[in-house]
Structure 1
Amino acid sequence: MAGHSKYKNIMHRKGAQDKKRSGMFSKLSREITVAAKMGLPDPDMNPRLRAAVNAAKAQSMPKDNIQRSIDKAAKGDEENYEEIRYEAFGPGGVSLIIETLTDNRNRTVTNVRTAISRNGGNLGAPGSVAHGFDRKGLISYPASVGDAEKVFEAALDAGAEDVTSSEDGHDIWTAMEDLHEVARNLEDSLGEPEGAKLAWRPQTTVDVAEGDAETLFKLIDVLDDDDDVQTVWGNYEVSDEVMEKLG
C-alpha cells in the first residue's frame, strides 16, 4: 500500500459538482431509489443503498429527500432506470468511462455522443476503454478526518488494498468484493465516509497538457450537467501548474 500518493484525478474535480447542488441531489436521489429497488429498502441490509445514503449525507442532502427516495422504491412508485456504461476517448488520448442511470436509452446515448463529439472526443465500442481500468471499491474521506498516516493505518487494519491521500482528502481502495466490509470496519475508526462506491481505477495515467486539459474539463462538465450521467471516470493526470492556470 502507498499512503502518500497524490492520485486525485481519477474522477472529475469534486468542487465542480458540489456547485451544482440541485443536479447533484437529483442524481443522488436516482441512485438511492435504484439501490433500494434492487435490494431491501433498509440501508443496514442493503450495501449499495447504504453507500448511496452515505454519499447523499456527505452532500448535505436533506433527510426527508433521502427517505422519500427510499419510499418511492418500496412503494413501486419509481420510474424504471437502466444502468448503461459508455466508453470514450477524450482530448489528449484520455480514456473515459461514463456511468449512467436512464429511463430513455436513446436520449442518453444521443446526449453522451453529442457531448463527446463536440468536445474533442469519440465514443468508443464496449470494451474499448474498460480493459485499461480495474474495477475496485473506493471509500472517500475528507482531509479533516486525520493525516495520511492515521488513515493509512486505519485502512490497513480494515482490510483495504491501497490509500491515496492529498490536501483534498483520502481515497481508500479495496477489492471490489470487499468494499462494504472494509467500509463498515472503517466506520469504527474514522466514522462514516463521504462516499463508498464501486469505481474504475486506471492501470496507467496520461499526462494532459494545458490545451487538452481545458477541453477535457469542458467535456466532463457537459457530461456532469446531464441528469442521466452519474459518474465520469478517466485515466487523466493534470499537473498542479496546469490546474492553477485553468483556475
Structure 2
Amino acid sequence: MAGHSQFKNIMHRKGRQDAMRSKLFSKLAREITVAAKQGMPDPAMNPRLRLAIQNAKAESMPKDNIQRAINKASGGDGDNYEEVRYEGYGPGGVAVIVEALTDNRNRAASNVRAAFTKAGGALGETGSVSFMWDRVGEIVYPASAGSADAVMEAAIEAGAEDVESDEETHTIYCAFGDMGEVSRTLESALGEASSVKAIWKPQNTIPVDEDRARSLMKLVGVLEDDDDVQNVYANFEVDDETMARLSA
C-alpha cells in the first residue's frame, strides 16, 4: 500500500475518528455543493453529484447534511469555490499532490506552501510532479463484496485495469475516462461501491525509513487538516515492520 492509505489507517488506529469525521463531513459537503452548483441538483442527471453523494453515504454522512449541502448550491452558495492543484516535494524527495477546493486561492496557497516549508519540503509549479502519476478511477468495495477471485473476474468483465484486495477492501482501478461505465457495470454485479472517485496513482513509490515516514505523515496530516484541502497523495512506501511501530 502507498503512503497515503497507510497514513489514513494509522490515524484511525490512534483514535482520531471523531475529529477526522467532522473534518471529513465538511469536505464531503463542500464537494456536494460544488458538484450540485456545476451541474443539476438532481444526482440522476449529474454524475459528479451522484458520486459525491455516494461517497458521503459511504462515510455515514447524515441525509440531512447531504441535503443541506445540495440546498446551498440552489441558494447560490458555493459560487466562488475553485478547484486548485498544488504539487511539490516532501522530505526525502517524495512527490506530493494536493487537491484543494477553496473560496480563497491566496489563503490556500499560503497554507500549503507553509506546510511544505515547515516539513523541509518545497512547493513546485503545477506539473512538476504529476507527470510521475496516472489519473485513474478508483472503485472501492468492502471485503464482503466477494472473494478476491470473484471481484477480479467482475472487474475484468467491467473493463477495469487492476484490482488490489486485502482483508478489508477490494480496490479496483480503471482508466479515468471509463470510470462511469466501469462503476455502473460493477454495481450490477457487486452492488453499490463504498466509494468511486478519480485519484492520482503513482507510477512508482519511494521506500522510506521510519524517521522519514514519520515526517511525511506529519506533513500529510497538516495538509489534510486544512479546510481548503480535499485530497493529498504522496508516493512513498513503508515496510510492514516500520508501519507496525508507527501505528503502535
Query: 151-160 vs 19-28, which deviates more?
Result: 151-160
Corresponding residue for 1:37?
37
AA aligned opposite 2:109: V
Pair 1:64–1:31, CA change in 2 (3 A) = same
Unaligned runs of 5+ in 2: none
1:70 matches 2:64: no
1:13 matches 2:10: no
1:235 matches 2:219: no
1:156 matches 2:150: no
SS at match of 1:137: strand
Considering Cα pairs closer than 8 Å and 6+ residues apart, tell me whether 1 or 2 has the greater RCO: 1
SS at match of 1:13: helix
1:11 & 1:202 partners in 2: Cα distance?
Answer: 13
Shift of residue 214, structure 1, vs aligned partner: 0.4
1:141 matches 2:131: no
Query: 157-166 vs 22-31, which deviates more?
Result: 157-166
Shift of residue 73, structure 1, vs aligned partner: 1.1
1:103 matches 2:86: no
Corresponding residue for 1:125?
125
TM-score, with structure 2 as normaliser: 0.92
After superposition, where does 1:57-96 map in structure 2 within 5 Å? Answer: 57-96=57-96
Shift of residue 141, structure 1, vs aligned partner: 1.5
SS at match of 1:45: coil
Whether contact under 8 Å (2:37, 2:79) holds in the other structure is no
SS at match of 1:25: helix
1:138 & 1:212 partners in 2: Cα distance?
Answer: 27
SS at match of 2:140: strand
1:78 & 1:12 partners in 2: Cα distance?
Answer: 32
2:172 & 2:2 partners in 1: Cα distance?
Answer: 12
2:6 & 2:31 partners in 1: Cα distance?
Answer: 19
Shift of residue 49, structure 1, vs aligned partner: 1.0
Query: 142-151 vs 219-228, which deviates more?
Result: 142-151
2:171 & 2:4 partners in 1: Cα distance?
Answer: 11
Query: 209-218 vs 148-157, which deviates more?
Result: 148-157
1:84 & 1:196 partners in 2: Cα distance?
Answer: 20
After superposition, where does 1:186-201 map in structure 2 within 5 Å? Answer: 186-201=186-201
1:11 & 1:38 partners in 2: Cα distance?
Answer: 29
Pair 1:172–1:9, CA change in 2 (3 A) = farther
Shift of residue 27, structure 1, vs aligned partner: 0.1
Post-superposition CA distance 1:171-217 (Å, at most 9, x none): 11111111111111111122211211111111111111111000000
Post-superposition CA distance 1:107-149 (Å, at most 9, x none): 1011111111111211111111001001111111222322211
**How many aligned positions are there?**
241
2:231 & 2:244 partners in 1: Cα distance?
Answer: 24
Corresponding residue for 2:56?
56
Whether contact under 8 Å (1:11, 1:232) holds in the other structure is no
Post-superposition CA distance 1:59-88 (Å, at most 9, x none): 100011111111211232335200000001
AA aligned opposite 2:30: R
TM-score, with structure 1 as normaliser: 0.93
Whether contact under 8 Å (2:2, 2:235) holds in the other structure is no
